[in-house]
Chains A and B, each alone.
Chain A
Amino acid sequence: MSRVRTWFQDNRRNPNAIAYSVFIIAALLYPTIVQFWTGGNGDYLVGIAADGGIYMLMAIGLNVVVGFAGLLDLGYAAFFAIGSYTYAEVASYHLGVTPVDHALHIPFWLALFVGMFIAASAGALLGAPTLRLRGDYLAIVTLGFGEIVPIVFRNGGIWTGGVPGISGLDVPTLPGWFQGPWINQNFAWVPDFRFTTANLTAYYVLMVLLIGMTVVLVHNLYNSRLGRAWMAVREDETAAAASGVNTVTVKLLAFSIGAATSGFAGAFYGAKLSYVSSENFSFIVSVTVLAMVVLGGMGNIPGAMLGAAVLYFILFWLLPSAPSQVESLASSVGLDFLNKAVPNGWPGIAEEISRSKYVIFGLILVGIMLLRPQGLLPSQIRKQELKHEEHEALTVPRQLQS
């Protein structure tokens, strides 16, 4: 007990410790609060949060690449797609209709890791020849890769299901599951549990556990020999090499670990939707995840998580629901005329807001970056860097100091 108390005292002013605590509490309470608030009909909100978890996983993975190792990856969704499609191939009837003629049904828990492994290998294959290049070139290569992969899946014909994609993927199973009071059912033990859309809370719990696990592993990496090497490579590649760090290997590891996380998230995503389509992996996904990492605070795990939570909330809840929310707000304050569409003129406030979503998204990105260029929850290092940069800008250029 006293250890807990000292921990709290030590970390009272540590924003990361606070953030982690808030995350844990929020994750625990979220389903209950939502169900209470919506009177037991909040299952879809729990499902949205579980989907958000997929983005959070990706943000944590991309943070390794961008934040820790300082490599700009603009095609992160490609690995997400590879994970999803791998899951679709190895855990559905689909291979049975291809010339292979034998469907594979690898169990969910194994298939997740197959997806992860294939994505990591793709990352290594792409990274090996390109990580020797200057930083910006890597960004461009990944951008190209991110454009190629979904189109290859779309053009893959019978192998990838073409434009409609592959549906009817195996859903996750567990030997048993607690059926809880949280979805207005009696507490019970369900054997041979299958995850379906009827029980989104199960997905939510699984997602929280997976995120927790990933955070612990990535945190361990950050505080290890490899994490230090990443930081060194980001700061000064020449000095790192002179100190015995194989910079190519270290960067390749960051790149592959990021790809692995994305592939893992992709496999989970495929299993949850029970469907994959090339439409879901466009450049905008890569950009969104990158924006999550940068908005949250590069190089800081809870920062990336916070960025993911905030941006996911805005993009997938606030913006889609804003039109109807504003519409009901307008009618409740007596501004009903705003809701009526005028032919060849005012399209109605709901339509107007829904058309404005790109503008709003753009304004949010620009606004947050201008107000907090270091991100919402920056790492200590980035804070320092920013302070020094500002200082330097007012004095002498750095090259001329010595």
Chain B
Amino acid sequence: MPAILRVEGLSKRFGGLVAVDNVSFEVNEGEVFALIGPNGAGKTTLFNCVTGFYAPTFGSINFGGRDISGSPPHRTAKAGIARTFQNIRLFDYMSAVDNVRLGHHCRMHSKLWDSLFKTPFEKREEKAIIEHSMELLELVGLGRHADSYARNLAYGQQRRLEIARALATSPKLLLLDEPAAGFTPQEKVELMQLVQVILGRGITVFLIEHDMRVVMQASKRIVVLDHGEKIAEGTPAEVRSNQRVIEAYLGKSA
């Protein structure tokens, strides 16, 4: 399978602090790829580099054959990378369906003129977007909550709404930042099912996760970061038996 995302020699420094240090890996099309590591290993920083929130200090990020290192977030979204956030970032005072409608922004073609005068084209597009948003809400199991303010949804519903909003950008690659954090075992099972459905739609999934059971079960390949460095890469079984990974998680003396 061809690589959809190729990260080469990526480093990110904040002043003297090296958050990500010379990391390289490839995410293949149609797989679930996981990024794990202890707290502060630089996982979210890496996500921020891939989605354009940080410009890499060194190294390149290649997505679908194009170099996207340093392009701003809205460009990477348009190119086909969607993401969710570790600490949920929804538009609190917009309804669930409006959150998802907003996700369509970069795929819409209405111009300022169309919006000002409510042209038939604009009306048709809005109608299509609403239908598609409802469909996505159904997909994540929030069909009944379309009109609630995002803020008033339960925690698990908010996580799923964020996934729906990300899917609305019609991504080729979906980055999930600790999607199962704070979930009950039942919710985790549902999340894994949802990930399979997303895969079924031809979207590659790249996730950060702390729950080892989820990671081992769901992902095909794993990269392990520690102190910003890549210390291991491979299948779940390979990573589990890797001495450096065990040290990183349990400390050297263990």
Q: Which A residues have a C-beta under 8 Å from some C-beta of B?
A: 217, 220-221, 224-229, 231-232, 235-236, 238-247, 253, 381, 384-385, 388, 402
Known: A221-B116, A231-B94, A243-B103. 11 other contacts (CB 8 A): A221-B115, A225-B126, A226-B112, A236-B92, A239-B89, A241-B73, A241-B74, A243-B169, A244-B78, A253-B112, A381-B94
Find out whether the CB atom of A244 lies under 8 angstroms from the CB atom of B115: no
> Once the chains bind, are A220 and B74 in contact (CB under 8 Å)?
no
User: In this assembly, does B85 line the interface, its C-beta being within 8 Å of a C-beta of chain A?
Assistant: yes
Q: Mark B182-201, 1 if CB is under 8 A from A, else 0.
A: 10000000000000000000
Tell me whether A246 and B89 are in contact (CB under 8 A): no
With A384-B149, A388-B151: A235-B73 Cβ-Cβ less than 8 Å: no
Whether the pair B53, A238 counts as a contact (CB closer than 8 A) is yes
- The answer to whether A244 touches B169 (Cβ under 8 A) is yes
Bound CA span A228–B102, Å = 6
Chain B residues within an 8 Å CB radius of A384 = 93, 149, 151
A-B contacts, 28 listed (Cβ < 8 Å): A217-B116, A220-B117, A224-B115, A225-B105, A226-B115, A227-B115, A228-B94, A232-B94, A232-B105, A235-B92, A235-B93, A236-B92, A238-B53, A238-B89, A239-B85, A239-B89, A240-B102, A241-B74, A242-B73, A242-B85, A242-B89, A243-B165, A243-B169, A244-B74, A244-B106, A245-B105, A245-B106, A402-B87
CA A402 to CA B159, docked complex, whole Å: 13
- Chain B residues numbered 40-55 whose CB sits less than 8 Å from any CB in chain A: 51, 53
Which residues of chain B are near A227, meaning CB under 8 Å? 115
Q: Which residues of the other chain, B, contact A241 by a CB distance below 8 angstroms?
A: 53, 72-74, 77
**Does any Cβ of A come within 8 Å of B220's Cβ?**
no
CB contacts (< 8 Å) of B151 on chain A: these are: 384, 388
Partner pick for A385 among B90, B93, B106, B169, CB 8 A cutoff: B93
A243–B105 CB distance below 8 A: yes
What is the distance, in angstroms, from A256's C-beta to the closest C-beta of chain B?
Answer: 10
With known contacts A241-B72, A243-B169, A232–B110 Cβ distance under 8 A: no
Chain B contact residues, CB within 8 Å of chain A: 51, 53, 72-74, 77-78, 82-83, 85, 87, 89-94, 98, 101-103, 105-108, 110, 112, 114-118, 122, 126, 149, 151, 165-166, 168-169, 182
Distance in angstroms from A9 CB to nearest chain B CB is 20
Q: Would A243 and B122 be within 8 Å (CB), given that A232-B91, A236-B91 are in contact? A: no
CA distance A388 to B93 in the complex (A): 10
Q: Which of B78, B90, B107 contacts A239 (CB 8 A)?
A: B90
- A106 shortest CB reach to chain B, Å: 23
Nearest A residue to B88 via CB reads A402
Cα distance A227–B91 in the bound complex, in angstroms: 14
Distance of A79 Cα from B92 Cα, bound (Å): 33
A402 to B86, CA, bound (A): 11
Q: Which residues on the A side are within 8 Å of B117 (C-beta)?
A: 217, 220
Q: Tell whether, in the assembled complex, residue B74 and residue A228 are in contact, meaning their CB atoms are under 8 Å apart.
A: no
Beta-carbon contact of B105 and A228 below 8 Å: yes
**Bound Cα distance from A193 to B236, whole angstroms:** 83
Chain A residues lying within 8 Å of B72, measured Cβ to Cβ, are 241, 246
Contact of A239 with B115 at beta-carbon distance under 8 Å, contacts A228-B101, A244-B169, A384-B149 already known = no
Which residue on chain B has the smallest CB distance to residue A243? B103
Q: Say yes or no: A220-B116 contact (C-beta < 8 A), given A232-B102, A241-B74, A244-B105.
A: yes
Say yes or no: A245 contacts B87, CB within 8 Å.
no
Most buried by A among B83, B87, B116, B166: B116
Least distance between A72 CB and chain B CB atoms (Å): 18
- Closest Cβ of chain B: how far from A396's Cβ, in Å? 15
Complex contact B93–A239 (CB within 8 A): no
A402 touches B93 (CB 8 A): no
Find chain A residues with CB under 8 A from B90 CB: 236, 239
Pair B98/A247 contact, Cβ less than 8 Å: no
Q: Which residue in chain B gives the minimum CB-CB distance to A218?
A: B116
For residue A60, give the distance in angstroms from its CB to the closest CB of chain B.
Answer: 14
Name the CB-closest residue of A to B181: A402
**From B122, which residue of chain A is reached at the shortest CB distance?**
A224
A88 to chain B, nearest CB (A): 28
Instruction: Tell me the minimal C-beta distance from B122 to chain A in angstroms.
Output: 7
Q: Which residue of B lies closest to A238 (CB)?
A: B89
Contact B149 A244 (CB under 8 A): no
Chain B residues in 8 Å Cβ range of A244: 74, 77-78, 103, 105-107, 169
- Chain B residues with CB under 8 Å of A231's CB are 91, 93-94, 98, 102
Which of A221, A235, A242 lies in contact with B77, CB distance below 8 A? A242
A128 to B67: give the CA distance in the assembly, Å: 26
Q: How far is the CA of A231 from the CA of B91 in the complex (A)?
A: 8
Q: Most chain-A Cβ atoms within 10 A of its Cβ — which of B53, B83, B93, B101?
A: B93
Identify B110's interface contact among A225, A240, A242, A402, CB under 8 A: A225
A325 to B74, CA, bound (A): 59
User: What CA separation (Å) do A5 and B107 show in the bound complex?
Assistant: 39
Chain A residues whose CB sits within 8 angstroms of the CB of B118 once the complex forms: 220, 224
Q: Which of A221, A229, A245, A247 has the most CB of B within 10 A?
A: A245
Chain B residue at smallest Cβ distance from A239? B89
User: What is the CB-to-nearest-CB distance from B129 to chain A, in angstroms, rounded to a whole number?
Assistant: 8
Task: Give Cα A239–Cα B166 distance, bound, in whole angstroms.
Answer: 10
